[in-house]
Amino acid sequence: MKNNNKKLIINLSKKINKHNYRYYILNKPIISNYEYDKILNKLIKLEKKYNFIYKNSPIKKFNKNLLNKKFKVTKHYFKMYSINNVYSKENLIIWKKKMDKKIGKKNNYICELKYDGIAMSLIYKYGKLKSAITRGDGKYGNEVINNILFINNIKKYIKKIKNIKIFNIKGEIVFSKINFSIINKINKKKFSNPRNAANGTIHSKYYNKNIKYLDFIPYSIYTNDNNINLKINNQFKSIKLIENLYLKYQKKAYKLCKSSKQIINYISYWEKNISIYPIDGIVIKINDFNIQKKLKSNNIFYKWCIAYKFKDKELITKVKKVKFNVGKSGIIVPVVYFKPIIINGTIIKKASLYNSNIYNNYNLSINDKIIIKKSGNIIPKIIKNINFNKNKNKYINFPLYCPSCNKLLKKKNNILICKNDKKCKKQIIEKIKHFISAMKIKINNNIINQLFDNNKLNNITDLYYLTKNDFLLINVKSKVYIRILNEIKNSKKNNLNNFLFALCIPSIGKYICKKIEKKYKNLYNLLKNIKKNNIKFLGKNIEKNIKKYFNSFIIKQFIKLGFKI
């Protein structure tokens, strides 16, 4: 196998691992499901074609980084695989034809709603709820039973299964659309969408008042009881048993189908109608359990089912204003604010256009009608300016000078950058905010801005010289500044990966920081290896950036401050 192909497989594996971490742990995905699936399917094909698997392949290896370290890690009794996706009805029909060839045309399929929530596995032992495990990587998950006990429709005891040793109910933890609206009214912090809200609530370390607004929607059962397994030999019977034991499903939440036409009609119904809960597609399963067992699964997906994902919704709105934000690295990002719209239960009022070429392609003016799409139910995107070229004299042009310090911007790969990083107010403030957030110190942005304006916080090391009087100067309450000063003090004992990430070193993201921590453990070992020129495993560009930063005066200041990282 050529080195180029090997390199491509390794790079794709690393890319997927990064996206998995953002999705499962940070709960901040930056690509749509469609884009993610394209990368994943490409990796699967390449691994198969060249018979090469990277040691940290997301397809083959359990990744502990996909689990929340605040919670106990538990092995699933019955593995929770993922479901492969299709994004067109044509591809769905192709999949069904393949299945019909393998199992025969007379077999039934069952269509079910695909809920956009958090997958959960409930374990009952002799009728009592003993465990609640998140999906994790499918083999291991987080034990969150202490949180889910507060969900009203989760039963703590089911009398009808009191004689069964292990009874596993798998399902989805979700906020109904009504309850999502309620929690966004009663909480100071507004959630961007129901899935993020459900994930954050389930992974709360302490009791979270939002938990009582969650629902559990079961979709399958597994048991070690042979009598039940003989009786419940297909998914339709399984759902009927769940309804009998647990709760009634919403109307038309599932349907038994035989032909492609029946499946397409069911999908079309839910593309036009509104569900009580957030849904992002339809799952199509082979109904017969014996056939399911014969088809088995690969390391990621069940082979006996597929998920049809709904197309991204597009809506028309009006441009209100455009802001050109200066980021911590000096990159100018145009953010278009428009009249708020609701897509899939989420209020959207702005979209970023990332670089000058993309921005200039739209020729935007105030009150222009634009088409917005929420790509993969995640990222708002501007698709089209309907009024393109109608207001030639009123275009909002990309600035030539930095909106913060007024220095001439430099262009690199269609990105406009302010290189005045030592004096640009916005860059300095953004670096300070990033450092504070990465070091797990909770300070309101308004307090940071006021400390900066009063010349008390001009760089990240100034943080460690703040006193009670500095906070009194800007009228911060004693309860607040005592907590902040304690958190600042405790941050000196933070871990290496948080500290490195906080420093904003170019090309050094969270993933690289974790690799460095894994190899060197602490700051002392890292400094020792930098001096010995022993960090080549990271690549030339990253090595160069780390050396440059660690030879600067700022690192000496951190050491002088007594950091024990």
Active site residues: 114
CB burial of residue 188 (10 Å; 0-12, 13-18, 19+) = exposed
| HSE-CB of 556 using CA atoms within 13 angstroms | 3
- HSE (side-chain half, CA atoms, 13 Å) at 172: 18
CA 156/CA 154 separation, integer angstroms: 6
DSSP single-letter state for residue 204: -
- Indicate if the alpha-carbon torsion angle 546, 549, 552, 558 is positive or negative: negative
Residues 6+ apart with CB under 8 A from 484: 441, 442, 443, 447, 466, 471, 476
User: Helix %, strand %, coil % for the chain, to 5?
Assistant: 40, 25, 35
> What is the distance between the alpha carbons of residues 513 and 232, in angstroms, rounded to a whole number?
49
- The contacts of residue 175 (CB under 8 Å, 6+ apart) are 117, 183, 194, 197, 198, 213, 214, 215, 277, 278
Q: Annotate 515-534 with b (16+ C-beta within 10 A) or e (fewer).
A: ebbeebeebeebeeebeeee
Identify any residues that bridge with 346 across adjacent strands, giving them in sequence order.
343
Give the integer Cα–Cα distance in Å for 137 and 148. Answer: 20
Tell me which amino acid residue 339 is.
K
| Torsion angle of the four alpha carbons 305, 310, 312, 313, in this order, in degrees rounded to the nearest 10 | -160
3-class secondary structure, 476: coil
